[in-house]
Structure 1
Amino acid sequence: MKRRDFIKHTTATSALVGLGGLGLNSCSGFNNTHITILHTNDVHSHIDPFPTSHSRYANLGGVARRASLVQSIRAENPNTLLFDAGDIFQGTPYFNFYGGELEFKLMSKLKYDAATIGNHDFDNGVDGLLAQVPHAKFELLSANYDFSNTVMDGFVKPYKIYMLNDIKIGVYGIGIKLDGLVTKRLYKETKYLSPFEIALDTERVLKEEENCDLVICLSHLGYDYENPERPSDTQLAQQTQYTSLIIGGHTHTFLDKPDVRINKKGDAVLVNQVGAYGINLGRIDFYFDGKKNSKANGVSISV
């Protein structure tokens, strides 16, 4: 969806998906609380729009345009959260020169709520990542990267809980295996833990112990692979019990609307990814009834 069309027709979305075993139908009766989730992934240090001469993404993207779009959506619905699914760094001279400082400062200006960590966010090593942490006024979330023996210990949380209009939202991060993607000298003693095992344990904590009404995963595993042995978002969705939305990254997959998968309980899980380079903004709208049952829909908006 183009940005101008979105502004004119903000209700244009994919089919309404019932979560928690609910069916596919209208949102009648689900108007008690409306939560909007906005998201990006694999922005790769693209601060400016693509030039008009670009063969594929002419005049698309740019942080300033994204900021304007996010501001308009927040004005429409104050109950809005903004997330990123990793690979914030690497891809333009801005990263080469500033080392990620500009990216984190601009995300903070846009008031991102949280981001997970992608493999390219280690490109200046854990020391380089730590150097940028003071510029991040948002949470870094990763449940399956153990930083306890590195300088990043204590600066990354497994999950974060947000309260919006009496809806308790638990958000956790999951990262891809670093070995083979990142040089050992860069990630040093960072330990990679099983993403599925950790995700299932974290979502259980968020649902059963923290009593969250909505559980969201920020994933940098990748959308889907031909090799079934490579962990992916589609596989994760099918193994979960409590996660309602997986916001993905890594594979630069352009989805016009969220993919719907069925979890172990037979409930719908939305899996979404909006390509790369900041040319799209993902939007997912959740509607809760008086008993906090929810329905959701989503769309990818060109910036």
Structure 2
Amino acid sequence: MSNRFKKLRPFFAGVMTVSLVTAAFAPMESVSANPGKGNGQGNAAVEQQRGNSGNAPHGPKRDIEGVTMVDSTSFLVDFDKTYPKGIDINRMLEVEAELDDESVVEVELTDYGVSSDDRSLVTIEHANDDLDGLAGTLRINDFELDFDFADEEEMFSLNIFHTNDNHGRTNMFPQLVTTLNEAKETYGDGLLLDAGDVFSGTLYFNEFRGQDALEFMNMMEYDAFVFGNHEFDLGDPDEGHPELVEFVENAEFPFVGANMDFSGDPGFDHINQQGGISFGAEDGMIYDGIVKEVDGEQVGIFGINTEDTVDISSPMDVTFSNYAEAAQEMVDLFKEEGVNKIIALTHLGYDSDPSVGNDLLLASKVEGIDVIIGGHSHTEVSPPTVVTENEQGEEMEPTVVAQAGEYGKFLGVVNVTFDENGVVVDSDGELMAAGDRDPDPEAAEMLEPYTQAIEELQNEPAGSYLVNDLPNPRHGDGDEVSVRANETALGNLITDAQLNAALKANEDTIMALQNGGGIRAPISAGEVTIGQLIEVQPFGNRLTLLELSGEELMQAFETSVFDAPAENGGFLHVSAGTRLTYDSDLDPGERVVSLEIEVDGEYVDIEQDEMYTIATNNFTATGGDGYEVFAQAYEDGRGTIVGNTDWEMLRDYMAELGNVDYSVEGRIVNLAAQ
């Protein structure tokens, strides 16, 4: 594989003087050997020697003050004067090598470059195979320099191309295909990896359940995929994960997930080969870790998904273990098998919540991982981060950490060079913007029928007119309020739609609840389309009724406002006729001041011992976002899925209203904010 990246100089232990190390990496004015392109082995000490050494017969006189052997194909000369512009290097120097066996080899000079910072410094290239595997003395005019490339370590360079968090942006694949082809032309072949969350987020996904994206991923010939939390969004208490199973079955690449256990869901039995590592991984199968052979070298790949998938998605009977413990076990297994080049393909987040782990923590906690290709936090990491200290602050072998943003905007490129012991000695990378490339013609043709179907759905009238804009604010967008921390008009509309549907199933339902993390887009004023509603609630969650005591409801709302006024995806919006008052200045767990419901036109407090029927989506009802009190009630048989899909309930309710005009009404009040 080609390696066209600059070297990470801190990894090399050359013996140049400080001044010449700096000079060796200074830009050159003409096309030349890159002094940093070698592996740093065989560098000889610079000899600060003066004398009458500029006596080449056909060139101006120049003394040589120092020579540095860059690698077996190039060296750096420090002349005593500025290099004459336009003079061929062959007129300035005569070069030969006397080998240890006393034979003499003439060294043919092939190219040179003059430093733009110090024009007395010249990097010289010579014939590629002159000194490989040899040892002896290099003579440059009257200057002599010992070299030894007889024991030069064998280096291995690996390219990794990577994507993550596509979230249903199928329309980006034609440009990604072009970008990948360009990357391979530039850097050579390499591994292609995806760090999860292909599922959820757009009309493409709602219509085709990931099968559209998979067609392009198969075309691009991915080498491995790790499950993200959103791959489990369609989990159903009764049916499990049929759409995800279909996605795996039809994939022409393997899946990895070392801290995920699929054995509790029989739907995965025929595609689940977890346990240990596989040297012959099959397409459409799930493994803890796999070994790929690249240019005769074995490269280990294992997968890790965030443990809080159990709270933020619907994995049902798929379970998760500690990320660091699972990673350590995989590193140990690979090393036992003699595999010393190890990639962790993760969906943890670059620097996300440390309580559930992230890529930087993983790098410091588990030594022996060479590269971490990540997702989940949608972070643009360019160039890749290099972690060189463990969690105790002690120096460790480097771990290269990369992530490529979100939504197919970038193709990540990482190049790592390993020494003969599998230690990273060199790395670099970039994010190539897919949006700057033209779509691949074949891929663009593949996309057309998918886009046509989506456009028809996108533009289908929903039967309602929105009088005012309904924003979906987030703190990260600079808004003072957030759908994940405050009452919003859109949250009020959604919960009212749920209550409207719930009352038709059970007239005793007192309130409906919607987690803020499940509200994904605003709606603009004007005629409303089906496409807009699906973008607002893209997860296809179904209405669920729960029987709860007043005490359990109070516990649930303590969970809702636990992080206030900071954002929390589990923040609960409430339907009309419910009033929550809390104080975020009080200790978490003791913040709810009152929870009231409207009865015969009057607000009354919830009774601790009274039983109530409430409505929410099946994700929240089964414990999503950490609602253990809901999960326990559901497991006790006090929950019923009544079948209505979230965006369909919103469509029907808005159609009943015709003209829709919603605002913030004071349903949720934080006394601290007043």
Same fold flag (TM > 0.5): yes
Can you list the C-alpha shifts for 1:131-152, whole angstroms capped at 9, x where unaligned? 2223210111100000011122
Q: Is the 8 A contact 1:149 1:190 kept in 2?
A: yes
1:27, 1:287 within 8 Å by CA — same for their partners in 2? no
Structure-2 residue corresponding to 1:274: 404
Give the one of 216, 222, 237 matched to 2:349: 222
The CA deviation at 1:14 is 8.0
Q: Is the 8 A contact 2:290 2:302 kept in 1?
A: yes
Matches within 5 A, 1:109-128: 109-125=219-235, 126-128=241-243
- Say if 1:127 and 1:202 are closer, same or farther in 2 by CA, change over 3 A: same
For the residue of structure 1 that corresponds to 2:199, the secondary structure is coil
State how 1:251-266 maps to structure 2 within 5 Å. 251-264=377-390, 266=396
Shift of 1:29: 3.2
Partner of 1:37: 160
Change (3 A) 1:14 1:219: farther
Distance in 2 between the 1:17 and 1:147 partners?
42
Structure 2 residue aligned with 1:84: 194
The whole-number CA distance in structure 1 between the counterparts of 2:363 and 2:199 is 26
Matched, 1:179 2:302: no
Which of the pair has more CA radius of gyration? 2
Q: Which amino acid aligns with 2:249?
A: P
SS in structure 2 of the partner of residue 128 of structure 1: helix
TM-score of the superposition, structure 2-length normalised? 0.38
Q: How many angstroms does 1:200 deviate by?
A: 0.6
Distance 2:430 2:338 in 1: 28
* d(CA) in 2 for partners of 1:131, 1:80: 27
Shift of residue 166, structure 1, vs aligned partner = 2.0
Structure 2: which 5+ residue stretches go unaligned?
A: 15-20, 22-35, 41-153, 236-240, 273-284, 435-674
1:104-183 matched pairs, under 5 angstroms: 104-125=214-235, 126-150=241-265, 151-153=267-269, 154=272, 155-177=285-307, 178-183=309-314
Match of 1:284 among 385, 397, 414: 414
| 2:177 counterpart residue number | 67
Name whichever structure is richer in strand by fraction: 2
- The 1:223/1:136 distance shift into structure 2, 3 A limit, reads same
Q: How many residues align?
A: 273
If asked which structure has higher relative contact order (CA below 8 Å, sep 6+), I would say 1
Tell me how far 1:287 sits from its aligned partner: 2.4
Q: 2:206 aligns with which of 81, 87, 96?
A: 96
After superposition, the CA RMSD in angstroms is: 2.3
8 Å Cα contact 2:229-2:313 kept in structure 1: yes
Secondary structure of 1:260's counterpart equals: strand
2:358 alignment partner in structure 1: 232
Cα separation, 2, equivalents of 1:78 and 1:244: 20
1:94 to partner: Cα distance: 1.1
Structure 2 distance, partners of 1:262, 1:293, is 12
Q: Secondary structure at the match of 1:267?
A: strand
Q: Equivalences for 1:6-21 in 2 at 5 Å?
A: 11=4, 15=8, 18=11
Q: By how many angstroms is 1:16 displaced?
A: 5.7
- Structure 1 spans left out of the alignment, 5+ residues: 1-9, 49-61
Contact 1:240–1:263, Cα closer than 8 Å, also in 2 = no
The structure 2 residue matched to 1:28, chosen from 35, 38, 43, is 38
Question: Does 2:446 match 1:299?
Answer: no
Q: What is the distance in 2 between the residues matched to 1:283 and 1:170?
A: 18
Does structure 1 retain, via aligned residues, the 8 Å contact 2:6–2:37? no
Structure 1 Cα separation of the partners of residues 290 and 201 of structure 2? 28
Q: Distance in 2 between matches of 1:263 and 1:205?
A: 23
Contact 1:113 1:139 in 2 (8 A): yes
SS in 1 for 2:349: coil
Aligned identity (percent) is 28
**Which residue identity does 1:224 align to in structure 2?**
D
> 1:89-127 CA distances to partner (integer Å, 9 max, x unpaired)?
112111111111111121010000011000111122222
**Distance between the aligned counterparts of 1:193 and 1:67, measured in 2?**
35
